[in-house]
Structure 1
C-alpha cells in the first residue's frame, strides 16, 4: 500500500515536471529555429541586393546637342537634354532633403529644380568650391545671395572642392537615391566633355556619401563668414 502511494506521488511529480519543462524545451527549440531562419533570411537579403544602377555617358555625339540644350529640344535617347532631364527628375522627386556637393553649377534648369524643391519644403543644402562660387555665371551664388539658400565652401581657397555628387532623401530607405560622377552641372560639361554620371539607390553608397557630406558640412563654415 505504501509502495503504491509512493508510486502515485512520483507519477504526480513527473507529470508536474513534464508540464513545466516540456513546453520550455519546445519553446527553446522553436526560438532557436526561428533565429536560424531569420539569420538565413538576412544573409539571403544581403546576397541578393535589390538596388539599381544607371550609368550615363557623355561622348563626342553630345557635341551636337548645344542647340538642343539652349532650346530644350531632345534629339533622342542619348541627347544631352534627355540626360539632363533624368537628373532633373531625380531632384524633382525629392520629398525630404537634397544634399548637393558640386564643384560648379551654371545650368538654369538645375537651378529651377532646386528652387522648386526648396519651395516644396525640401531641406536643400549645397557645398561648392570657393573659387567657382565667386564666378560670374555661378548659379549657386545666385541661390545664396538672392534666395538665401544654405551654401558652404571650404575655408582654404588653395584647395578645390572638386566633388560632384548629390544625395536625395537619405533619411528614407524607400525614397533615397543619389547621383555621382565627373559631370559639373554646366553647359560645357553637357556638350563639350567626356563625362559620366551614375544614378543608384544603393543603401551602402548613400550612407557613405551622406556621412561624407555631413562631415564636410560641419567642417566648412557658413558662406556668410566670407566677404564674397
Structure 2
C-alpha cells in the first residue's frame, strides 16, 4: 500500500515538475519573442530626399530602372522609411489620421489599393475637407473613408499594416509636419501594442458607421445638426487648407 502511495506521489511530483517546466519554457519563449519584436523610431523633420524612385519602383515592380527626374538628392530619410513600411502591406492597411495632405503618402496608399490591399481610413470631418487633403483623392479611388460627427477632433495618428505592424506617433501626415515640424513616429510589430491599436481602430470604425448617424434639417441659425449615439455636432467654419502640422 505504501509502495503504491509512493509511486502515486512520485508520479504527481513528476507531472507537476513537467508542467512547471513547460510553463517556464512558454514564458521564456514569450519573453524572447517580445525581445525580438521590431522597434524603430523615426524623427522629423525629414531631410529633403528623393522619394520618386521608391514610388516608381513600387508602381512597376520588376521593371528596368529608369533615370529619376527628381532633382533632390537620393538616400535614406524618415519619410522614405515611413513609405517603405507602408508599401510593405500585402493584405490590409488601416489608417486613423487627423490630417492627411502628403502627396507622397497619398500616392503610396492609392498604389496599395490598386494592388488589392484592403485599405480603410478614419479621419476628422473638418480636416478632411481642407484644400490639399488627400482624403478626396482616396475616396475617388474607391477607398472607404469614415469620419467623426463629434464636437471634438478625431486626433489619432496611427496606421496598422497587415494587422501586424503598428505605425504611430505625433506626426500628422502633412507636408508641413514632415518637412518642418519636430515630430516622432514609432514602428513596432510588438503584438501587445498592435492588438490594442487594431482594437481601437475597429471600435471607431463601427462607431463612425454612417448608419449610426441621423441627419436633420438646418437649424434657425443656418447650421446643420446631426446626432451620433446621443452626441450632437454643429457645422462650423473650416480653415481653407491643410498647412499646419
Deviation at 1:206, TM superposition (A): 0.2
- Contact 1:182 / 1:197 at 8 angstroms: preserved in 2? yes
* TM-score under structure 1 length normalisation: 0.73
* Higher Cα Rg, which structure: 1
Aligned partner of 1:189 among 152, 168, 177: 177
Greater percentage in helix: 1
Aligned in 2, Cα 1:177/1:138: closer, same or farther, shift over 3 Å? same
Aligned in 2, Cα 1:72/1:115: closer, same or farther, shift over 3 Å? farther
Residue aligned with 1:130, SS:
coil
Match of 1:9 in 2: none
Is residue 2:126 matched to residue 1:131?
yes
Residue aligned with 1:205, SS:
helix
- Contact 2:89 / 2:112 at 8 angstroms: preserved in 1? yes
Superimposed CA distance per residue, residues 144-197 of structure 1 (whole angstroms, 9 cap, x where no aligned partner): 1x12211011112x3111110001111xxxxx2111011111110111111111
Match of 2:235 in 1: none
Residue aligned with 2:193, SS:
helix
Aligned partner of 1:42 among 26, 50, 59: 26
- For these two proteins, the number of residue pairs brought into alignment is 193
Structure 2, gaps ≥5 residues long: 53-69, 216-223, 225-245
Aligned in 2, Cα 1:185/1:26: closer, same or farther, shift over 3 Å? same
Residue aligned with 2:126, SS:
helix
Match of 1:209 in 2: 197
User: In the TM superposition, what are the counterparts of 1:98-109 in structure 2 within 5 Å?
Assistant: 98-109=93-104
- Contact 2:51 / 2:80 at 8 angstroms: preserved in 1? no
Residue aligned with 2:132, SS:
coil
Aligned partner of 2:84 among 89, 92, 104: 89
- Contact 2:41 / 2:187 at 8 angstroms: preserved in 1? yes
User: In the TM superposition, what are the counterparts of 1:60-209 in structure 2 within 5 Å?
Assistant: 62=46, 65=48, 71=70, 73-74=72-73, 77=76, 82-144=77-139, 146-156=140-150, 158-170=151-163, 176-209=164-197
